[in-house]
Structure 1
Amino acid sequence: MLDLAKSIVHVAEEAGQVILSVYRRAGEIHSKTKEDHSPLTEADLLAHETIMEALLEISPTIPIVSEEGRIGDPLGTERAWLVDPLDGTKEFIKRNGMFTVNIALMAREGDRWTPALGVVHAPVSGTTWVGGVESPAIRILSGETTPITVNSNPGSPVRLVASGSHRGEKDEAFAESLGHYDLIRMGSSLKACVVAEGGADLYPRFGPTSCWDIAAAHAIVEAAGGIVVDPDAKRLDYDIIDEVLNPFFLVACSDDWNIAWKANQD
């Protein structure tokens, strides 16, 4: 693992410990509602502060775009950090363990951005996934590092992973188009990570997401041999500055479902 990747793993794990300090307190987890109607907790802000401080120490000249704030101007650089300090805040409030810390190093390509390195950490299980352009896809658990890869021979039933909080008509229609399938319920970036490690075959997302929700896991999925595509079945890229909302996207172990994916966009 590259030295930079090791450093970011440490940052994500440190943020995870801060999140757990709130998660394990007795009593209800309190939250506020942001302008986009998503919840915000003390843990979101504490993790944000922890990550921002650490990234500034590691790479003081690289701008940071976080769900909870920004430092520097990405327009003036070729690299930027993209951070979701606590992905799956609704799951965090429910205390079901299905939330993550997401940190991606993004590379600028014209006015669009693509992930060069991703780290996703699940505080409750202590599992961390890493992968990128120059970093092989791995899973770290209890100090042990294991190479991961997507399922290279998907069969029937197709293993479909979907949100535990969001599921609508388009999700149901696409699932039905697959034929026989098994449904796995999961929250946050864990859905993409389970595809990266071969535990599921595809994760379609028809609901609203932002760039920081998926970019880190995107890097890991591609490093593991999978794909992350937009509604036209082209590689998903990002606007991390203005239009931060993603289009619908599909995370998959192969392009076997691209035709069905494109057909279910209307």
Structure 2
Amino acid sequence: MLKVFEHAALAAGRAILDVCQASATVMLKPDASPVTVADERAEAIILAMLAEALPGVPVVAEEAVAAGKIPDTGGSTFILVDPLDGTREFITDRPEFTVNIALIENGTPVAGIVYAPAMGVAYVGSKAGAEKLTISPQFDIAERRPIAVRPGHRPPVAVASRSHGNPETEQYLTDHAIDECRSIGSSLKFCLLAEGVADIYPRFSRTMEWDTAAGDAVLRAAGGTTLCLDGTPLTYGKRNQAADVDFANPSFVSRGG
């Protein structure tokens, strides 16, 4: 299944870069978040490839959900897709935007890919472990390198959202005596923990499951954790939530070693 994710992500990334070169028009969704034709084209490519290779597996995709198309996820297995995570980075010409695809089993992200097409890198994770991929200009996988979180690094290095920082995050860093914090967009924050470049990612602003699932899958495959503030693992497939919309995440903290 991970091979299918890789092929779909690389194809979507190629389409995104094609749109990037042509200067994408930015639109606003009903929640006022930005979306471009790149999001829509990438999602269409991914959905078509997943439907052909994995018929019958429900796929929850960001733009489809925004259009009211939500499959039944009552079973134990489904796929989460964010065709262009970091749209704000994309429209401001920062290279940190990613394509995210993740497999969820029994509420846990067990396989996923995070592909940053403008950076020529991808991260994958599964039960077999985690890898960092180098992607060639021809959109082929040129190299695979195993990655893992680093254990007990002191002082710890944090990563935080470039576009969604808030006082709660700053207070967390202060309370835990974390002086170094690197700001980066999209789900690459999980990947920096997974490859041992950083150690902790506190998130106290809004995320949706498709934002986090692929990066979380890579991090867990590399030996890390993503826990809610009560210490329980972050789960996926959250529907009919009393305090929030379907697929919305609570605050969480991801850690490396």
**What is the Cα deviation at residue 180 of structure 1?**
4.5
Task: Say whether the 8 Å CA contact 1:80–1:105 is kept in structure 2.
Answer: yes
Task: Say whether the 8 Å CA contact 1:117–1:135 is kept in structure 2.
Answer: no
Task: Name 2:10's counterpart in structure 1.
Answer: 13
> Structure 2 regions of 5+ residues with no counterpart?
136-141, 241-245
Task: Name 2:117's counterpart in structure 1.
Answer: 123
DSSP 3-state at the match of 1:32 = strand
Query: Matched residues in 1 for 2:216 and 2:177: separation?
Result: 26
Number of corresponding residues: 242
Task: Name 2:251's counterpart in structure 1.
Answer: 248
Query: Matched residues in 2 for 1:241 and 1:68: separation?
Result: 17
**What is the Cα deviation at residue 13 of structure 1?**
0.8
Task: Name 2:147's counterpart in structure 1.
Answer: 148
Amino acid of the structure 2 residue aligned with 1:73: D
> Structure 1 regions of 5+ residues with no counterpart?
255-266
How much identity, in percent, do the aligned residues show? 39
**What is the Cα deviation at residue 153 of structure 1?**
2.9
Q: Match for 1:50 among 45, 50, 62?
A: 45
Q: Match for 2:132 among 114, 117, 139?
A: 139
What is the RMSD computed on CA atoms of the aligned residues?
A: 1.4
**What is the Cα deviation at residue 24 of structure 1?**
1.6
Q: Match for 1:215 among 213, 232, 246?
A: 213
Task: Say whether the 8 Å CA contact 2:162–2:184 is kept in structure 1.
Answer: yes
Task: Name 1:73's counterpart in structure 2.
Answer: 72
**What is the Cα deviation at residue 215 of structure 1?**
0.7
When the two structures are superposed, what TM-score results if normalisation uses the length of structure 2?
A: 0.90
Task: Say whether the 8 Å CA contact 1:131–1:220 is kept in structure 2.
Answer: yes
Task: Say whether the 8 Å CA contact 1:98–1:186 is kept in structure 2.
Answer: yes
**What is the Cα deviation at residue 51 of structure 1?**
0.3
When the two structures are superposed, what TM-score results if normalisation uses the length of structure 1?
A: 0.87
Task: Name 1:258's counterpart in structure 2.
Answer: none
Query: Matched residues in 1 for 2:219 and 2:103: separation?
Result: 15
DSSP 3-state at the match of 2:105 = strand
Quick check: 1:174 aligned with 2:168?
no
Query: Matched residues in 2 for 1:232 and 1:71: separation?
Result: 29
Query: Matched residues in 2 for 1:148 and 1:202: separation?
Result: 16
Q: Match for 2:197 among 173, 194, 199?
A: 199
Amino acid of the structure 1 residue aligned with 2:18: S
DSSP 3-state at the match of 1:68 = helix
- 1:52-111 per-residue CA deviation (whole Å, 9 max, x = no partner) reads 000001111101110011464222x32111100000111111110111000001113xxx
Q: Quick check: 174-183 or 7-16, which moved more?
A: 174-183
**Closer/same/farther in 2, CA of residues 31 and 240 from structure 1, 3 Å limit:** farther
Query: Matched residues in 2 for 1:37 and 1:240: separation?
Result: 23
**What is the Cα deviation at residue 114 of structure 1?**
1.6
DSSP 3-state at the match of 2:129 = coil
**What is the Cα deviation at residue 241 of structure 1?**
4.6
**Closer/same/farther in 2, CA of residues 174 and 218 from structure 1, 3 Å limit:** same
